[in-house]
Amino acid sequence: MTQPTTLSPARPTDPLETPGQPERTELLSIAHGAEPSGGATAGVLALFEERVRLAPHAPAVIDGAHTWTYGQIDAAADDVATALRDRVGTGDLVGVCLDRSAALVVAAVAIARLGAVYLPLGPRPGERRLAAVTEDLDVACLVGDPALLPARHREAEHIELGLPREGVNATGAVVAALTPARTDSGLRAPGGAFYAVLTSGSTGRPKALAVAEPALATLLDWYRAETGLAPGDRQSLLIGVAFDPHLMELWAGLTSGAALVPAPDDVRWDTALLTGWWRDSAISVAVAATPMVEPLLEQPWPRSLTGLRHLIVGGDRMRRRPGADVTTTVHNAYGPAEATVVTTVHTMRAAGAEAEGSGAPPIGTPVPGVTVVVTDAEGRPVARGEEGELRIGGDGLAIGYLDPALTARRFTTRADATTSTSTGATTDTDASTGTNAAAHVTGFELAGTDRLYRTGDRVRMRADGVLEFLGRLDEQVKVSGVRIEPAEVEAALEQDPAVLHAVVTAPRTPDGRTRLVAYVRLAADHAATSGDALLTAVRAWLPEQAVPSAVRVVDTFPLDANGKVDRAELTRQAAGPDPEGAPASGAPAPSTPGERIVLDAVRDLLGRPGTTLADNFTEAGGTSIVAARLLTIIERESGVRLRAPQLLRQPDLRAVAALVDSRREAAREAGA
């Protein structure tokens, strides 16, 4: 997969020589993926249309009892494109507020057919977050359930779309709500954009990133070759729609002739349901977030799960390798959205489980068309075995952010790589494209690589060219597989008039998981506001993974020697018990086995020792990932398997515990 690069003292004009530095003979931390095969020259939409021509009656989407053929998806997409053609044109952003369903698939194809830019937002992105997106970006229309759209789009002109209404996640009527006329101009997608996704932004408002069709086509070409995905196979449609791997799984299915199978939302909360769904739906290839897969690897692999050939896992650091009993080939994939979903991959098969050993697997080697470089703070490549920042180049790079100034800061030319610093300073750039407008500066050359993206990730390249992930260089963190800027969460909290100042920390739990804990100073006239009230309010601004597990109210922040907020001290405090988190005086102690199991587990998972049996799981900070872990703990400690809906329907933790106790008693009586 990789080609090594060396510096030789016998060749002082070597194109990778960094002038002014001592002569070096060691192997540099530079690796190139294989040359992409010819398939990437065909456009993504063209490959889908070729599948329609070859097998119009083959299943394209299978959702429970409902099946749509390639011909039916194609015809429905044509109808939607016709309905929108007079109002949506080439390069226009179309925000899609739909869940995993045939309707979503049709919408994606229709938008591509119009030459517009697909912007997946998810079925319930939060009204304030959605309002911020439509204020900052020049979005032509929002596609979704009219009842769930923000107020100004509910009142705007609607075009009813004839999208499929059947399926586990389907909604009722779907409209294209045209964006009302505005006096200012929002950010538009750059030319050539195929899709755009939102990433976390330090200003409190999400950043939008645009990716071109050839970059996605190159990735999909690797995906089909690696997994063998082909007609007759079934590809999961499991990833959250606003998360960029969703684009990979959706178009992988449509360009291979396989059938897409939308996952019910319940399976994303419950690992037992997930494996059962993979088996019952006859899934051949699946993509899943790391936090969902790791609990599966801690248990015996289901013997009945023989049809799942490949499992692509990503979004967070993988801490456990699959055991010898795992019959599925597991791919530990790494890649920021800025480099089109997957940059490097490490593949693990049961036959090599012993050779792999224990411990965290590496993030592997670059996929075809990708170049990776590990650099020091000045942008020079380091020797293999040394730590540094990972920079990415090659065919997989995104066009850039919709904000050209941000693109210029994070995407540098290869010449910039030797003059940029750890603060992000570069040579003069053309703000419209992010390319270097100044004369070529002296530095190393990378054949076939015009730009590099600075990931901010700390990595090490082994002597064999394999990358190991070590952490972040900046304050950005990953929570449940999603990159989060603490500053975005701080800004969202500070939208509340009760909050004067917010500081968000990201302590790690004893098992290595990251959670967010916010500290806030309140305005004098809001001194009675509680952390729980602020937590409830901020949910409307943030995606689920960015909602803190706790908000702690403080009078002052600790300061360091320079008079700045001592974030390290706050992180240390956040890793310990909440000083105000002891159970309220008079709160009843757990009195049954179920109550003890549930309450202890929730307190540990949320890092909130003040949680009581009277608290509601979601309102206390529970998320889908936390729910999955809680269900696993309950089953391990009590032998009772609850389903996610049963957990979420209960008004409080006492009711959850009562359900556990009643199931334990029923099992005991049945065994008597």
Pick 3 or 121 by higher pLDDT: 121
- CA 68 to centroid of chain Cα atoms: 28
Nearest CA to 517 among 529, 506, 502, 508? 506
Strand 310-314 and strand 329-334: the pairing is: parallel
Answer yes or no: are the C-beta atoms of 105 and 61 closer than 8 Å: yes
Closest among 302, 248, 299 to 279, alpha carbons compared: 302
pLDDT tens figures, 89-114: 999 999 999 999 999 999 999 999 99
Assigned fold of 593-670: 1.10.1200
pLDDT recorded at residue 421:
38
> What pLDDT, on the 0 to 100 scale, is given for residue 436?
35
What are the extents of the domains in the chain? 62-189, 478-575, 593-670
Q: Residue 183: which pLDDT band, with cuts at 50, 70 and 90?
A: low
Structural domain 62-189, CATH architecture: 3-Layer(aba) Sandwich (3.40)
Q: How confident is the model at residue 81 (pLDDT cuts 50, 70, 90)?
A: very high
Rounded to whole angstroms, the Cα distance separating 294 from 304 reads: 19
Of 437, 440, 435, 438, nearest to 450 by C-alpha is: 435
Range name among 26-35, 407-416, 503-512, 644-653 with the lowest pLDDT average? 407-416
Beta bridge partners of 520: 502, 553
Residue 200 structure tokens: 């976390």
What tens digit of pLDDT does each residue of 387-398 get? 999 999 999 999
- What whole-number percentage of the chain has pLDDT above 90? 49
Nearest to 517 by CA among 479, 472, 563: 479
> DSSP 3-state assignment of 122?
coil
Nearest residue to 169 (alpha-carbon basis) of 242, 254, 102, 268: 102
Q: Is a pLDDT exceeding 50 seen at residue 433? A: no
SS3 content of the chain, % helix, strand, coil (to 5): 30, 25, 45
pLDDT greater at residue 593 or residue 7: 593
Percent of the chain residues past pLDDT 70, beyond the cut: 85
- pLDDT of residue 423 exceeding 70, the answer is no
| The pLDDT of residue 131 | 82
The structural architecture, per CATH, of the domain 478-575 is 2-Layer Sandwich (3.30)
Q: How many CB atoms lie within 10 A of CB 361?
A: 23
Quote the tokens at residue 69.
Answer: 């053929």
Of 8-17, 222-231, 358-367, minimum mean pLDDT range: 8-17
pLDDT at 1: 41
Q: What value does the mean pLDDT take over residues 372-383?
A: 92
pLDDT of residue 661 exceeding 60: yes
Instruction: Give the pLDDT confidence score for residue 251 in this predicted structure.
Output: 98
Q: Are 576 and 550 contacting, i.e. CB atoms less than 8 angstroms apart?
A: no
Phi, psi values for residue 605, rounded to 5° = -65, -40
Nearest to 189 by CA among 387, 340, 391, 404: 404
pLDDT at 420: 41
| Spatial distance between the Cα atoms of 544 and 621, rounded to a whole number of angstroms | 10
Q: Report which of 100, 106, 262 is spatially closest to residue 176, judged by C-alpha positions.
A: 106
* pLDDT score of 646: 85
pLDDT in tens, 231-259: 999 999 999 899 899 999 999 999 999 99
Q: Are 508 and 576 in contact (CB under 8 A)?
A: no
**How much is the pLDDT for 586?**
59
- Return the bridge partners of 198, or none: 208
Task: Dig out the tokens for 485 from the structure.
Answer: 């800027």
Closest CA to 328 of 359, 356, 360, 296: 296
Instruction: State which H helix or E strand residue 225 sits in.
Output: helix 213-227
pLDDT for the residue 669: 79
Give the per-residue pLDDT at 620.
Answer: 79
- The answer to whether the CB of 53 falls within 8 A of the CB of 231 is no
CB 628 within 8 Å of CB 266? no
Residues 6 or more apart whose Cβ sits within 8 Å of residue 667: 639, 640
Confidence of residue 672 (pLDDT cuts 50, 70, 90): low
- Please state the separation of Cα 173 from the chain's center in Å: 28
pLDDT at site 589: 79
Strand, helix or coil for residue 477: strand
Which residues have CB under 8 Å from 219's CB, separation 6+? 248, 340, 341, 342, 367, 396
Of 339-343, 449-453, 478-482, 550-554, the one with minimum mean pLDDT is 478-482
Q: 528 or 219: which carries more pLDDT confidence? A: 219
What pLDDT band is residue 487 in, cutting at 50, 70 and 90? confident
Average of per-residue pLDDT across 33-50: 84
Q: What is the pTM of this model?
A: 0.74
Residue 407 belongs to what H/E stretch? helix 404-410
Mean pLDDT across 225-233: 98
Taking the CB of residue 462, how many other CB atoms lie within 10 A of it? Answer: 12
- The mean pLDDT value for 117-134 works out to 87
321-336 pLDDT per residue, tens: 898 899 999 999 999 9
What is the rounded CA–CA span in Å between residue 219 and residue 47?
Answer: 13
The answer to whether residue 14 scores a pLDDT higher than 70 is: no
User: How do beta strands 59-63 and 66-69 pair?
Assistant: antiparallel
Q: Which residues contact 450 (CB under 8 A, 6 or more apart)?
A: 393, 413, 414, 435
Kindly state the average pLDDT of the residues 648-652: 86
- Asked whether the CA dihedral 13, 18, 22, 25 is positive or negative, the reply is negative
pLDDT of residue 26: 56
Give Cα separations from 378 to 200, 374, 445 (angstroms).
26, 11, 15
Residue 499 predicted with pLDDT over 80: yes
| Helices vs strands, H then E, count in the chain | 18, 32
Displacement of CA 460 from its chain's centroid (Å) = 23
